Chains A and B, each alone.
Chain A
């Protein structure tokens, strides 16, 4: 019997191709919208997570002053000293690695090429903190760091601009007017949330302090938290230690700040997830409207086909068969609409993802749920018109003009 009703449903749909298409249009658009939004939203979340993780996983960034800026007026809070670094290294639990950072900007020159970039003065611990690796060459040796040798490791953007056709390792380039030897190239990090992460020249901190900044201050200390420890606990003991070292009286405000990348990461991914859900919910409303569209057309169709229903009843269709026919018609329409919608969503996501610079992540769950939902819409919104059709009196239906 189900086979019969499916044949009849397909015949009816086939007889009215345009109307069937218009009926399903709401479902098509609804499913396509929901699935595209969620797919792109997932891509955006993944992209944000990726950018955050490029900051280094679970890293506490210790900076002088309050917040991101250096504060408003008043005396500039002091930078950190090398003794702060050693204190953090030796007196704290849950610290995997500690790296100092001094930044400076300048132009790098090799043969005819020059490139304006950022110089990071740090130690080889920086590689461990940020989980950066060298693609070729090597990291600094402890004695080179100690002596502040004129050596550098360059990011890939710097490499491609200064050494387009040659291997930079072992070459001597000029940076801010001094000569240094390239000993390594970093692996590519890509575009982070904070600009091009490959546009960097990393040098021993002693060298940068001596030749560029002219003092032994450290402007930032990066603390990698051991995975076994809770980053919030480590953060508060770090704050306590720095307060003690800076002799800040109890109750007085910190003149430094600790920035937890994990916290930022959680906040940002949480935000994009919520945004995805909101946009998905808005799109789901269009799916609901699509369902009402199906009901509307099916009701019109029942009225328009009253005579047909009368004929079917007269020649011996039982009420259940007429009900099933209209119900199956609605379900077939909404499932077809769902499938077309999924296909459109695939096309749309694949073409929009590169434009929005987010990865395309095919989410099987969302596709399956959207399809099942469209089928459910067929059942729910098809049932009422189908019941109405089945309840018709054959005599009246036959007389209907």
Chain B
């Protein structure tokens, strides 16, 4: 891992509110994430891991410090520039799946491609390929209501990877699933990390799930407490 890290946080702080009620969620984070890594972020609630994930996902900006993404200073970008960054390089998977209701699996997966302005044939081909990767090709015309939780999360993963992003951010991806489905999802993420070279950042509070990652970052009280490298078996 001699090459430039894909993500680099330096002295990142985040303050919510101002005056006497201000709350400092991040108190100076330094963190490098290498291209192709599989990182699990752990920590108790309120430790700053979600805030960090929001910043890493370019959904939020740090109050202080620098955030380099692929050599770009994200903290200087405006809302729309960050949106374009997300569109181009990032994929999101959420705990609550967050699929559009009454919308077929394929239409959900195609959504990021619509914003990229891809034509209908390309959208179909790429969408079906992504669904194939998560093993749901035959379910393309089912709406979320007709799919199980595990299947919904796999559709969400397909949506996240359909644009072939550099980084996949997963916020408690197995939080709403039973252990068997959780393992399936983790195997899918591992597979995407290894075979498609996607850098995976995952928030979890389950050590079993974190065990799938190569690097585990522990947060505590708005600071990085410890980084376990190469824990993967």
Residues of A participating in the B interface, judged by any CB pair closer than 8 Å: 1, 4, 7-8, 11, 15-16, 307-308, 310-321, 394-395, 398
Which residues of chain B from 92 to 119 have any CB-CB distance to chain A below 8 Å in the complex?
A: 92, 94, 98-103, 107, 111-112, 114-117
How many A-B residue pairs lie within 8 Å, measured between CB atoms? Answer: 64
Q: For the complex, is B35 an interface residue (Cβ under 8 Å from A)? A: no
Are A317 and B94 in contact, CB atoms less than 8 angstroms apart? no
Q: How far is the CB of B171 from chain A (nearest CB, A)?
A: 9
Binds A, one of B79-87, B132-140, B146-154: B79-87
Which among B83, B100, B112 has the highest number of chain A CB atoms within 10 Å? B83
A312 in contact with B111 (CB, 8 Å): yes
B interface, how many residues as a size bin?
20 to 34
Q: Is B86 a contact partner of A316 (Cβ separation < 8 A)? A: yes
List residues of chain B with CB within 8 A of the CB of A308: 100
Which residues in B have their C-beta under 8 angstroms from that of A398?
Answer: 94, 98
Cross-interface CB contact of A315 among B101, B117, B159, cutoff 8 Å = B159
Q: Which residue of B lies closest to A14 (CB)?
A: B102
Find the B residue at minimum CB distance from A315.
B112
Nearest CB in chain B: distance from A316 CB, A: 3
Contact A318 B103 (CB under 8 A): no
Q: Of the candidates A307, A310, A314, A320, which one forms a contact with B80 in the assembled complex, judged by CB atoms under 8 Å apart?
A: A320
Residues of B within 8 A of A321 (CB): 115
Residues in chain B near residue A395, CB distance under 8 A: 54, 59-60
Given contacts A308-B100, A311-B100, contact A318 B117 (CB under 8 A): no
Shortest C-beta distance, A324 to chain B (Å), equals 11
**B70 at interface by CB-CB < 8 Å:** no
| Chain A positions within 8 Å of B103 at CB level | 11, 15
Min Cβ gap B15→A in Å is 15
C-alpha gap A317/B116 in the complex (Å): 9
- Whether A319 contacts B98 in the complex (CB less than 8 A), given A11-B103, A15-B103, A314-B57, comes out as no
Contact A313 B83 (CB under 8 A): yes
Point out the residues of chain A lying under 8 angstroms from B114, CB to CB: 4, 7-8
B226 at the A interface (CB under 8 A): no
Q: List 26 A-B contacts (CB under 8 A).
A: A11-B107, A15-B101, A15-B103, A16-B102, A308-B100, A310-B98, A311-B98, A311-B99, A311-B100, A312-B111, A313-B59, A314-B57, A315-B86, A315-B91, A315-B111, A315-B159, A316-B83, A316-B90, A316-B112, A318-B84, A319-B80, A320-B80, A321-B115, A395-B54, A395-B59, A395-B60
Would A15 and B102 be within 8 Å (CB), given that A314-B92, A317-B115 are in contact?
yes
Q: Tell me the complex Cα distance, A4–B117, Å.
A: 7
State A308–B98 Cα separation when bound (angstroms): 8
Q: How far apart sit A319 and B83, CA to CA, in the bound complex (Å)? A: 8
- Do A318 and B80 touch across chains, with their CB atoms under 8 A apart? yes
Q: Nearest 9 pairs between A and B by C-beta? A: A316-B87, A318-B80, A316-B86, A15-B102, A318-B83, A315-B112, A314-B92, A311-B98, A394-B59
Closest to A3 in B: B117
Can you name the residue of chain B whose Cβ is closest to the Cβ of A310?
A: B98
B88: Cβ under 8 A from any A Cβ: yes
Find the B residue at minimum CB distance from A316: B87
Question: A316 contacts which chain B residues (CB < 8 A)?
Answer: 83-88, 90, 112, 115-116
Beyond A314-B92, A316-B86, A318-B79, list 17 extra A-B contacts (CB 8 Å). Answer: A4-B114, A4-B117, A11-B103, A15-B101, A15-B103, A16-B102, A311-B98, A313-B59, A313-B83, A314-B59, A314-B98, A315-B91, A315-B112, A316-B87, A316-B90, A318-B84, A320-B80
**Complex alpha-carbon distance, A398 and B156, angstroms:** 14
List of A residues within 8 angstroms of B90 by Cβ: 316
Once the chains are docked, how many angstroms separate the CA of A398 from the CA of B85? Answer: 18
- Please pick, from A15, A16, A307, the residue contacting B98 in the complex, using a CB distance under 8 A: A307
